[in-house]
Amino acid sequence: RPGWPGIIEAYRDRVPVPEGAKVVSLGEGNTPLLPAPHLSELTGATVYLKVEGANPTGSFKDRGMTVAVTHALAGGLEAVICASTGNTSASASAYAARAGLTSAVLIPRGKIAQGKLAQAVAYGARVLQIDGNFDDCLELVRKTAAEYPIGLVNSVNPVRLIGQKTAAWEICDVLGRAPDVHCLPVGNAGNITAYWRGYSEYVADGLVEAAPRMFGFQASGAAPLVLGEPVANPETIATAIRVGSPASWAGAVTARDESGGLFDKLTDEQILAAYRLLAHREGVFVEPSSATSVAGLLLTAADGRLPEGSVVVCTVTGHGLKDPDTALLGLSEVEPVPVDATAVASALELR
Ligand code: F0G
């Protein structure tokens, strides 16, 4: 078989699918675990980035979606539905298209990044927007899927999280150990839950000695897990994690408590600073939500909560091209120059 087969085939023994199921894959997984020299220097840790923007639709959601859509197809469903801040909808529509299923996505009006909307449209999804937030969208799709013949592919569908465990296994397989600390952005809290289950499984099976401490980071305006109570009107520039009432709340708390980890929150300014630093200094362009893990790394390194010399993995969850508007914030016009090499040289202050 040519190349990487996708996460279901790669982890056949750990990611069960129904007997005889046709696997729906776009070649997800096997993403780079990239050393981050600048962040390592800043923090005194050995930092790696798990670059999930390298997945087929540009986010980690593809790991769970290959499993969810494989199950939906095997179960004879003809349509799938999800609520999304953008990435789940992009992924669901792609895998549904691949499987020949219809997809429907429910999004909060005006609150998803343009690239993600473009993806859902391009893959041929039925896109519906509501005047509400992600939490409202999720409640609506749960009710719809309970009453009508359409499969729910949000992470409340447990097979999604089984697929997402594969990121933790890839990290261990590449490093030959688990990191000391794993930093993640947290929105609906499925991913931190899945990573913790993945690491715990490898420890239980004797494949690694110890699991990492799980550090989960939220945006200040959407930090229910940090505050310990749901947020009615979540707000942040990191729209992917603009979630007030995470579905996997209990899983995230288990991850933190069993691992000796922590939750904390970052302001939009701190998130954007990390976003720019990642692109400017590491050459890694991610979406704002993804930079939350790195903003949290910098915060905990600065205040001493991150032990010096730790091996740290920060998952950067989605590609920067998802959200071109944030990248172009503050840019009114690209600098014009005449069609003339001297003018180019002078604009660049070359001598
Ligand atoms: N980063 C990105 C880029 C995301 O899209 C999400 C979640 C998260 C982090 C947080 O992961 O929800 O498992 O804690 N996006 C969901 C969506 C809510 O609809 O695409 P989580």
Give yes or no: residues 164 and 261 share one domain: yes
What are the backbone angles phi and psi of residue 117, rounded to the nearest 5°? -65, -45
Give yes or no: residues 55 and 186 share one domain: yes
Note whether residue 220 is domain-resident.
yes
Quote the ipTM score.
Answer: 0.99
Q: What pLDDT does 1 receive?
A: 58
Give yes or no: residues 173 and 29 share one domain: yes
Note whether residue 337 is domain-resident.
no
Give yes or no: residues 21 and 123 share one domain: no
Give yes or no: residues 139 and 280 share one domain: no
Rounded Cα gap, residues 184 and 174, in angstroms: 19
Give yes or no: residues 263 and 142 share one domain: no
Note whether residue 280 is domain-resident.
yes
What are the pocket residues of ligand 1 if the criterion is a CB atom closer than 6 Å to any ligand atom?
Answer: 59, 61, 84-88, 185-191, 240-241, 243, 287, 289-290, 317-318
Q: What pLDDT does 2 receive?
A: 72
Note whether residue 344 is domain-resident.
no
Instruction: Please identify, among 114, 138, 157, the residue that sits at the C-terminal boundary of a domain.
Output: 157
In sequence order, what are the residues at sequence separation of 6 or more whose Cβ sits closer than 8 angstroms to the Cβ of residue 221?
A: 231, 234, 235, 236, 242, 268
Give yes or no: residues 72 and 85 share one domain: yes
Give yes or no: residues 166 and 232 share one domain: yes
**Ligand 1 atom closest to the CA of 322, numbered from 1:** 3
Give yes or no: residues 227 and 123 share one domain: no
Query: In angstroms, what is the span from residue 85 Cα to ligand 1's centroid?
Result: 7
Which residue's CA lies nearest to atom 6 of ligand 1?
A: 240
Give yes or no: residues 186 and 118 share one domain: no
H helix and E strand count, the chain: 15, 10
Note whether residue 141 is domain-resident.
yes
Per-residue pLDDT of the chain (351 residues; tens, 9 = 90+): 579 999 999 999 999 999 999 999 999 999 999 999 999 999 999 999 999 999 999 999 999 999 999 999 999 999 999 999 999 999 999 999 999 999 999 999 999 999 999 999 999 999 999 999 999 999 999 999 999 999 999 999 999 999 999 999 999 999 999 999 999 999 999 999 999 999 999 999 999 999 999 999 999 999 999 999 999 999 999 999 999 999 999 999 999 999 999 999 999 999 999 999 999 999 999 999 999 999 999 999 999 999 999 999 999 999 999 999 999 999 999 999 999 999 999 999 999
Instruction: Please identify, among 142, 157, 172, the residue that sits at the C-terminal boundary of a domain.
Output: 157
Residues placed in the known binding site for pyridoxal 5'-phosphate: 87, 187-191, 317
Domain that holds residue 100: 62-157
Note whether residue 89 is domain-resident.
yes
**Ligand 1 atom closest to the CA of 188, numbered from 1:** 12
Question: Which of 113, 119, 133 has the alpha carbon at shortest distance from 329?
Answer: 113
Give yes or no: residues 312 and 229 share one domain: yes
Q: What's this model's pTM, rounded to 2 decimal places?
A: 0.98
**Ligand 1 atom closest to the CA of 87, numbered from 1:** 20
In sequence order, what are the residues at sequence separation of 6 or more whose Cβ sits closer than 8 angstroms to the Cβ of residue 138?
A: 83, 154, 156, 188, 247
What's the CATH code of the domain at 164? 3.40.50.1100
Q: What pLDDT does 115 receive?
A: 98
Note whether residue 55 is domain-resident.
yes
Instruction: Please identify, among 133, 157, 181, the residue that sits at the C-terminal boundary of a domain.
Output: 157
Note whether residue 341 is domain-resident.
no
Which residue's CA lies nearest to atom 12 of ligand 1?
A: 188
Give yes or no: residues 165 and 234 share one domain: yes
How many domains, the chain?
2
